[in-house]
Amino acid sequence: MGEIEIRVQRFDAPESQALIRAALADLGQRYGGSGDDTPVDASEFVPPAGAFLVAYLGGEPVGCGGWRSHGEDGDTAELKRMYTAPVARGRGVARSVLVAIERSAREQGRKRVILECGDKQPEAIAMYTSAGYERIPNFGFYQDAPGCLSFGRTL
């Protein structure tokens, strides 16, 4: 399949939306329901307030993730919609997307990245902790939900 290529893509672009639907389906299988009911608007992922990235292998979209501004201070980026298609897992796609998201957020003046994750995503938790993310107090839409885990990392 070749080298991983990361491209900035609109959140509402067809390739982005196909990957997001797959991500939500995956979360739905793990947790039930729609997968994630967090309010998300495509406009939140437009620079300089955010960005959405799509990973390609052999020209095929296989992963995605984005960040949006969080809080009033302008220093924090919230990671959203990280996903890697099953066919591409174990090939460094998610790690490449994470590095690109962090770079993008840093370039837009963010000093920290935070994220919500669930306890039924052990592979995501392992990747985030190995990338230097540490547990922080829960925040956001699922902060009081059983199994919610929040992580943060200084850029």
Give Dmax over CA atoms of the chain in angstroms.
42
Residue 139 lies in a domain: no
Q: What is the pLDDT of residues 2-42, one digit of tens each?
A: 799 999 999 999 999 999 999 999 999 999 888 888 889 99
Residue 120 lies in a domain: no
> Both tokens of residue 22?
């797959």
Q: What pLDDT score was predicted for residue 1?
A: 52
Tell me the pairing of strands 76-84 and 112-118. parallel
Residue 145 lies in a domain: no
Containing domain of residue 29, as a range?
A: 4-111
Report the amino acid identity of residue 54.
V
Give me the number of domains the chain comprises: 1
Residue 154 lies in a domain: no
> Both tokens of residue 9?
């893509």
Q: What is the pLDDT of residues 64-122, one digit of tens each?
A: 999 999 998 889 999 999 999 999 999 999 999 999 999 999 999 999 999 999 999 99
Q: What is the pLDDT of residues 46-62, one digit of tens each?
A: 999 999 999 999 999 99
pTM of the model: 0.95
Residue 72 lies in a domain: yes
CATH number assigned to the domain comprising residue 14:
3.40.630.30
